[in-house]
Structure 1
Amino acid sequence: MSVPASRFSLNQWTTKRWSVAEAVDGCVRHGVEAIGLWRQDVAAQGLERTVKLVADAGLRVSSLCRGGFLTSGGPEALDDNRRAIDEAATLGAACLVMVVGGLPGVVPGEPLGTISRDLPAARERVTEALAVLAPYAGERGVRLALEPLHPMYCADRAVLSTLGQALDLAEAHPAEQVGVVVDTFHVWWDPRVLEEIARASGRIASYQVCDFLSPLPADVLLGRGVMGDGVIDFAPLTRAVAEAGYTGDVEVEIFNADVWAADPDEILSRVKAAFGEFVGG
């Protein structure tokens, strides 16, 4: 199965040193037609300025990252996600990526304090929040994209660990309101992943690719590599996503200290070549 280069999308954090304006310019110079944006960087650039930059460059916004962190509960989380939905609508993003949050009280990178160890209750909070947010997103033409994260992130970032769990929640809502993210880094290990991708037909809101490094670095958040540098076999995953009917952009999202330290132009050239060899070939 071949993915044309026109469907390649640069997730902004792959070239994290670039501002929104620099990333947009980089996409134009490298012939990239789509970009995945991050809320904090959009805020730093200015929402309306970002809209103009993207439109003037003729780029598609493949995703806005991120909403979520719903497990803490409370009106603040819902309000922030409503703002994220409004931003995604203004940008015309194909989806708003939802990293749903870990156990209440567990903060990424911080020592444990007062926490809840009730994992089923945390997952129920996600269900309850989606019941509120999905209609709001639907009214604004925004698709929420639930992203299951590798189980090593269950405590602090996402109580959804498998594509099957994400689909179980998404299927309670219209497909145009809630879909799922298939991210190779997070799902490659799952023995049921190909079955679940097939089940996700009509629900895949984003396909994100990068490699899973071995050994992982001390900060496992930065264990994403350029395709071909790790252990993932991309061909069956890409084929399954295509057979499930997904024809949207394929977003390269890499968190890696060495990648971030390198020249962004060199990284973008390298990533495009790896995309052609391992994902698009």
Structure 2
Amino acid sequence: MTDPDRLALNTATTKQWTLQQAIDGAVHAGIRGLGVWRDRVAEVGAVRAGRMLTEAGLTVTSLCRGGFLTAADAGGIGDCLADNRSAIEEAAAVGTSELVLVVGGLPPGDRDLAGARLRVADRIADLVPFAATHGVRLVLEPLHPMYCADRAVLSTVAQALDLADPFPAETVGIVIDTFHVWWDPQLPGQIERAAAAGRLALYQVNDFLLPIAADALLSRGMMGDGCIDLADISTRVTAAGYTGPVEVEIFNADIWQQDGAEVVRTVIDRYRRLVLPFLGGS
């Protein structure tokens, strides 16, 4: 994959667009990769979505998301396994090998963080054989610690890699999302560890805005608008040997109010100026 072709648009960035609009917008802008959220796939069904993406000549860089694996009761465990098996089937149907997992926070009323992390490990073990038969890798996403209680009991790349270690690299990997991990003093070494183990499945770029939004999920910004040293992280990811897609995934209410085509033009401009020069070979 040559450097200019590595840019991928994640449909979360243009949430104002339908799947068809996202496909058309990416193709019109010359973007060759699309990371797809399941809500967009649900608009038309996984089989039709896969056909639409293939006919447009797009590479599906990831499907978001599976996960929420921390349920402690039998009913909750059964529901989460069923949903994740559906997500695995959807990933295969749309043509991607990478299913991003947000592992889930603490169940209501639960304060046992260590126990929740153990249940994540158990559910991954349950899902790996099913994912492997579909040619899909489970991609663990560590989230910023402010989401630990409600969205992800994995906060660091090291934690994600520790969970991935018992499984083959082709079945469990990790994603580096700059918004979530830029703060981590262990990040440089963990990027190297992930790449050396063949587990660095995806690189997502964006920025970290202050003040934190009332809905903390919407605190991501366009590259260059926040405090993340994208040059440093991109250089380290490149030095570790990563040559895969670079997805732009941004949750931001103001961006969702803008014209989608203008958002994509800004994505391309910021990627070319702030990320691409540090990917090597550009």
Tell me which interval the TM-score lies in, with the shorter structure as reference length. over 0.9
- Find the residue that maps to 1:200 and give its secondary structure: helix
- Kept after mapping to 2: 8 A contact 1:30/1:269: yes
Number of residue pairs the alignment of both structures matches: 270
Residue among 149, 160, 170 paired with 2:154: 160
- Find the residue that maps to 2:167 and give its secondary structure: coil
- Kept after mapping to 1: 8 A contact 2:106/2:116: yes
CA apart distance, 1:97: 0.3
Determine the structure 2 residue equivalent to 1:224: 220
- Kept after mapping to 2: 8 A contact 1:21/1:45: no
Q: Percent same amino acid at aligned positions?
A: 55
- Find the residue that maps to 1:132 and give its secondary structure: helix
CA deviation vs aligned residue, 1:252-277 (integer Å, no higher than 9, x gap):
00000110000000000001100111
- Kept after mapping to 2: 8 A contact 1:154/1:160: yes
Distance 2:210 2:124 in 1: 35
- Find the residue that maps to 1:45 and give its secondary structure: coil
CA apart distance, 1:127: 0.4
Show the 5 A alignment for 1:74-223. Answer: 74-105=77-108, 115-201=109-195, 202-223=198-219
Distance 1:57 1:185 in 2: 30
- Kept after mapping to 1: 8 A contact 2:7/2:31: yes
CA apart distance, 1:51: 1.1
Residue among 254, 257, 260 paired with 1:258: 254
- Kept after mapping to 1: 8 A contact 2:97/2:135: no
Distance 1:274 1:45 in 2: 31
Determine the structure 2 residue equivalent to 1:109: none
**Normalising to structure 2: TM-score of the pair?**
0.94
Unmatched 5+ residue regions in structure 1?
Answer: 106-114
CA deviation vs aligned residue, 1:103-148 (integer Å, no higher than 9, x gap):
012xxxxxxxxx1110000000000001111121111110110000
CA apart distance, 1:35: 0.2
CA apart distance, 1:244: 2.1
CA apart distance, 1:45: 2.0
Show the 5 A alignment for 1:16-35. Answer: 16-35=15-34
CA apart distance, 1:49: 1.7
